Each structure stands twice: as structure tokens, then as C-alpha cells.
């Protein structure tokens, strides 16, 4: 078995490395329980990746989601989303019976409200049986987990318990003594909410066991997992509540500046994300410990990390917290090379694929290249008619990950269908192919990615299956109706998979 942490299989990629993979969030897997999870369907998916020569499976962030269900606004940077727990394996553990889990669900999308209610009902049943039966081996594992993860688990579990006590309110609207973490108030809350706090520790233990089971199976099959660490965290999160000094906050613990990007070709007013920005001096004083612990936590479950909004480590667009658009922000220098030197010293390497999309300045490229970090190239962005377009395959360097599109893009079929006819003609000309039907565009881009010089080629599952706009995962700037797509089980027997295997072999990306 190949060591998943060998420098031959994780970024930065060595000379001559060629591999392929698929981007699909865990929630999109088929399963009998309304949402993809760390259960048998994940095992079946890994088998399919292995059979088709795919060396990598990329997921979106796995943290517990809040309003809007966005994986990029988690309630914690360290916790896993408990709704990803597999009921089937809880039945195997003796914590549930099959009758506890008999609910019919749609197979093509996630009903988040329904799934959240169902999963928390069965998780509470599993806790009651665990608490009653006290299974010796699992109890030992649970206590060891709580001890090993106490540095984040204690605050997170109390945060979730307090969220329930205060009906989901933003933590700054809790009583001041709790929002400000006065020791006596926290001690009292821990006593009064002790059972609920213990439940949330237990839920994290269950998802940890299952996540490790999937990770170990993937490792045995030679399939490497890519996780995702967003650069910013949600304002209403256990991260900010427990570590206010690490963020740019005022005396009332409210953000003084928030994250975004300035006006550009895509938006005349920029993008106002609203996340609190970092107090980098406070991070520097700790040797960037909190960030490094975030990476270490993620790397328990995956082999490499997609590092979101990499440009923010060079300089980030900070917008006054009371602004209504991102037009009037300021570029604020980030931690730069010092951050990555500290991270490399602790991790023993930098297993990152960096998201360097958007309007990128030379200092960002210099930081990326100083540490030999593979950047990101998206084929959908290649067709503006300019020969120096960095997304054209002839302009790639080898230490790159190329995508047909990302979770934020339209599916390639939708993208192509919505293009003007003259742009379509230019695409086929650029690809040096006769113009084909809209149904051929996704695989034309997929072949372009796979045959490029990029070390790693990845396509969203929607592009492999040539799916249309109904299967789009996320529309940036749209608050509702995102993140819901699921792959119906019958699509996993599509002829697209043997074709993908053939392409992977022909393009020299089949694992050795």
C-alpha cells in the first residue's frame, strides 16, 4: 500500500507526476438517509474511483453548517458536521435499530431541514443507548477522543449547547457574561448544560470514528482525499467566541472589518462576504498555532487540503464592518512567507492545493511559487481570446491542478449552453476541434484537462456525467437553494465511468 503522506502522492507534486480525480461533496453521495454520509455509500464511491483509475476524491469543507447550509460558513473550524454520520454504521455498532431509521427521502437533492431533524433524532437515540449500555471498548475510545481533542472540543460542545439554550441566537446576543466568556458564567453554564455538552462531544466522536474508517479504506485502495479549509470563519462560530483576540473585533466583540473582494469585472460593487478578518499580529505571537491546529485537524481525515482564497495570505481586502458594499475597502498585508514557514515546520511539509483564482497580483504568485505550491486552473476561464490567458493549457506549469469547473461554477453543460454563438465558435477553434453539439462540451473540456501538462486533473462529478443547470452545486451571491445537489444512485452506473477510465489510462494518469 502506498503511504498517503509520501511526497510522491501529495502536493507539491514531483516532476512527472500525473493523476486524476473527481470533485464531489460528501453530502452529494447517494444514501438511504437523505444526505451523503461517512457510510457504505462512501465505501462504494471509493471503489468506483479505484476501478476507474481516479487517484483523488475532493470534498468541500466538512464542518457543521449554520444558516444557509454553506460548508464555507461552519460553526467550527475543527468540528465535523454530525449530520454526515451514517445510520447504517450506528446500526452496526448496536446504537440504533433499523426501525429507528425508516424514512423516505428524495434522491436528487438534500432536504436540509428534514435531514437535520432526522439525524439529530437518531443521534439522540444513539446517545441514550450508549449512555445506558456503557459499551466498554467504545467508552474507552470516547474518553480518549475527548482528551485528545479537548483543545477545541470543550468550547465547541458548550457553544452548541448554548445555541440550543438561546434558540439559535447569534452568540453576541446571548447574556453578556456568557458572550464575553466570564469564567464564573461559563462554569455555571457547563454545570447546567452538562448532559447536552456531553452529547455534542459524543456526536463528534461518532463522526470521527466513521470519518477515519472511510479515510483508512481510501488509503488501502490508493485513493487520496482532498479536504478544504476556508481562509475565513463565520462571525457566529465557536472559533470567534472562544478566540476573540485572534480576530479584528471592537470592545463589544463585534467585527471592526469584514472580508470581501474589491470591484472587478464580475461585480461593480465587489463581494462583501462579511466574515471577521484576522488580527495577524496576535496569530504571529502564537506562532500561528490556531491555524496550524486547523490544518492538523483536517489532515486527520484527508491527505491534502485545498487552501481557500490563498491571496488573503499575501494581502486581503478589509472592508469596514458597517459598509453595505465592498467598494471602499483597504488592502491589508497578510502573514506571507512567515506563515508558511511556521506551518511547514509543524506539518513537515505543505500539503496544499492553493485556490489562486480571481484578480491575482504578482506578490500572490511569488508567495505561491516560493513554496512550490500547486495553483488552480479552470478550463472554463480559458476562452477570452487572449494568448496569455493563464487558464489555457499551453500556459500551465506542471505543478498545477486543473479543473473543468469548480463547485462555484455552472456545470460545463450549462456554461456552454448559455454562451453566445461567437464565443462557442471560439472555444472549438481554441481547442482545435470542429464545432460540436452542446452535449459534447463537458467532455471536450474534460479531455483538455486530462491531456494537459498539469500534474493533477479534476472534474466535478456533474461534468463527468454531463449534467445541466439542475445539478449546479452553488451560485455565489445567491443566499438560498445552494449545496443541495445529490447524485441519484442510478447515475453511478453511467457509461461515463468506463469512458473516464479509458481517458485516464490514455492520458497517462492511471495510478502506477
pLDDT at residue number 271? 87
C-alpha grid cell for residue 379?
478550463
Map residue 95 onto helix, strand or coil. Answer: coil
Handedness of CA 458, 69, 77, 213 (dihedral sign): negative
Residue 3 in domain: no
Residue 472 in domain: yes
pLDDT at residue number 182? 97
Residue 192 in domain: yes
Residue 8 in domain: no
Region at 16 (left for phi over 0; alpha for psi -120 to 50; beta for the rest)? left
Q: List the catalytic residues.
A: 308, 355, 408
Residue 223 in domain: yes
379 and 402 in contact (C-beta within 8 Å)?
yes
Residue 512 in domain: no
**Helix H or strand E segment including 330:** strand 330-333
DSSP letter assigned to residue 82: G
Tell me, what CATH number does 354's domain have? Answer: 3.20.20.80
Residue 10 in domain: no
Closest CA to 290 of 242, 349, 338: 242
Q: What is the DSSP string of 196-248?
A: HHHHHHHHHHHHHHHHHHHHHHHHHTT-EEEEEE-SS--SSSHHHHH-GGGB-
Query: How many domains are there within the chain?
Result: 1
Torsion angle of alpha carbons 104, 108, 113, 119, nearest 10°? Answer: 60
pTM, rounded to two decimals: 0.96
> Which stretches in the chain have pLDDT values below 50?
1-8
Residue 14 in domain: no
pLDDT at residue number 329? 95
pLDDT at residue number 3? 38
Q: Which domain holds residue 379?
A: 19-506
Map residue 276 onto helix, strand or coil. Answer: strand
Amino acid at each position: 500500500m502506498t503511504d498517503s503522506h509520501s511526497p510522491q502522492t501529495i502536493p507539491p507534486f514531483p516532476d512527472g507526476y500525473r493523476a486524476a480525480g473527481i470533485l464531489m461533496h460528501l453530502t452529494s453521495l447517494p444514501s438511504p438517509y437523505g444526505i451523503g454520509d461517512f457510510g457504505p455509500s462512501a465505501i462504494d464511491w471509493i471503489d468506483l474511483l479505484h476501478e476507474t483509475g481516479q487517484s483523488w476524491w475532493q470534498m468541500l469543507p466538512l464542518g457543521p453548517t449554520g444558516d444557509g447550509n454553506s460548508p464555507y460558513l461552519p460553526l467550527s473550524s475543527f468540528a465535523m458536521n454530525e449530520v454526515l454520520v451514517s445510520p447504517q454504521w450506528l446500526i452496526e455498532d448496536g446504537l440504533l435499530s433499523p426501525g429507528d431509521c425508516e424514512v423516505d427521502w428524495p434522491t436528487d437533492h438534500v432536504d436540509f431541514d428534514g435531514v437535520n431533524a432526522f439525524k439529530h433524532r437518531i443521534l439522540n437515540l444513539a446517545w441514550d443507548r450508549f449512555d445506558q449500555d456503557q459499551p466498554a471498548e467504545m467508552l474507552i475510545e470516547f474518553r480518549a477522543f475527548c482528551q485528545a481533542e479537548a483543545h477545541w472540543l470543550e468550547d465547541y460542545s458548550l457553544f452548541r449547547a448554548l445555541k440550543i439554550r438561546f434558540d439559535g441566537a447569534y452568540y453576541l446576543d446571548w447574556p453578556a457574561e456568557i458572550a464575553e466568556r466570564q469564567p464564573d458564567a461559563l462554569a455555571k453554564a457547563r454545570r447546567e448544560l452538562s448532559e447536552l455538552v456531553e452529547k455534542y462531544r459524543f456526536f463528534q466522536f461518532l463522526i470521527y470514528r466513521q470519518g477515519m474508517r472511510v479515510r483508512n479504506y481510501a488509503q488501502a485502495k490508493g485513493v487520496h482525499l482532498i479536504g478544504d479549509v476556508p481562509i475565513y470563519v463565520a462571525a457566529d462560530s465557536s472559533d470567534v467566541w472562544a478566540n476573540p483576540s485572534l480576530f479584528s473585533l471592537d470592545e463589544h466583540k463585534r467585527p471592526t472589518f469584514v472580508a470581501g473582494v474589491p470591484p472587478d469585472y464580475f461585480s461593480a460593487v465587489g463581494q462583501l462576504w462579511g466574515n471577521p478578518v484576522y488580527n495577524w499580529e496576535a496569530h504571529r505571537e502564537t506562532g500561528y498555532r490556531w491555524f496550524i491546529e486547523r490544518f492538523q485537524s483536517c489532515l486527520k481525515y484527508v491527505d491534502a487540503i485545498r487552501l481557500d482564497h490563498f491571496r488573503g495570505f499575501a494581502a486581503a481586502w478589509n472592508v469596514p464592518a458597517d459598509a453595505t458594499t465592498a467598494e471602499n475597502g483597504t488592502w491589508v498585508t497578510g502573514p506571507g512567507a512567515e506563515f508558511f514557514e511556521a506551518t511547514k515546520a509543524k506539518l513537515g511539509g505543505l500539503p496544499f492545493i492553493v485556490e489562486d483564482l480571481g484578480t491575482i497580483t504578482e506578490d500572490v504568485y511569488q508567495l505561491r511559487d516560493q513554496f512550490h505550491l500547486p495553483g488552480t486552473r479552470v478550463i472554463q476561464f480559458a476562452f477570452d481570446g487572449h494568448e496569455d490567458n493563464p487558464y489555457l493549457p499551453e500556459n500551465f506549469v506542471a505543478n498545477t491542478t486543473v479543473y473543468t469547473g469548480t463547485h462555484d461554477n455552472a456545470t460545463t453543460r450549462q456554461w456552454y449552453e448559455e454562451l453566445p454563438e461567437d464565443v462557442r465558435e471560439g472555444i472549438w477553434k481554441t481547442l482545435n476541434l470542429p464545432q460540436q453539439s452542446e452535449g459534447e462540451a463537458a467532455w471536450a473540456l474534460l479531455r483538455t484537462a486530462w491531456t494537459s501538462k498539469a500534474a493533477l486533473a479534476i472534474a466535478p462529478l456533474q461534468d463527468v456525467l454531463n449534467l445541466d443547470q439542475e445539478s449546479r452545486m452553488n451560485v455565489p451571491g445567491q443566499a438560498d437553494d445552494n449545496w443541495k445537489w445529490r447524485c441519484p444512485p442510478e447515475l453511478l452506473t453511467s457509461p461515463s465511468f468506463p469512458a473516464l477510465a479509458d481517458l485516464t489510462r490514455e492520458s497517462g494518469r492511471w495510478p502506477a
